[in-house]
Amino acid sequence: MKNQTRTPLILGSGLALAFALATGSPALAQSTGTPHEKMKMDDKKPAMDHKAMDHQMMAQCEDMKKQKQAMKDDMKAQDAELTAHVARMNAATSDKKAGVTAEVVTHMLEQRIAMDARKAKMDEEMMQHMMEHMQMGKESMAMCPMMKK
């Protein structure tokens, strides 16, 4: 009986959502103008001249590159630390081996969870960064230090 009363509610909600998405999409698709014009029209963002925006963007590019390198360096340091822990684990006597192994596994898990969260945040920031380049044009992305080795 409960399923019968919920079905119209769920169906109605789904249809309302589909209608909202369908009617909202054309409005978004009709947006015109270059990204620079849109930025000037957007009341929430102050209008910038092209050179100031390029300078600001390149500063963001360099910062992003430094963050990426710092993460690589941290991963290398973590690998070295884990190598030392594994050597200690392998050298442990049989009566202490289980405890040391548990410490190593716990430490690895903690590192992995923290690094996964850090990577996810950085991936999101990099995606946003690349979207900003795309809005500025192909030549903007080609100039990004992140695109160069």
Q: Each residue of 107-138: b (16+ CB within 10 Å) or e?
A: eeeebeeeeeeeeeeeeeeeeebeebbeebee
Instruction: State the Cα–Cα distance between residues 95 and 77, nearest whole angstrom.
Output: 29
Which amino acid is it at 41?
A: M
> Mind listing the pLDDT tens digit for each residue in 43-78?
444 444 556 667 788 888 889 899 999 999 999 999
pLDDT score for 13: 52
Which tokens belong to 98?
A: 């289980």
Which tokens belong to 92?
A: 């442990």
pLDDT score for 97: 93
Instruction: State the Cα–Cα distance between residues 128 and 61, nearest whole angstrom.
Output: 12
> Mind listing the pLDDT tens digit for each residue in 90-147?
999 999 999 999 999 999 999 999 999 999 999 999 899 888 888 888 777 778 877 7
Instruction: State the Cα–Cα distance between residues 33 and 101, nearest whole angstrom.
Output: 61
Q: Which residue, among 135, 114, 121, has the nearest Cα to 35 in the 3D structure? A: 135
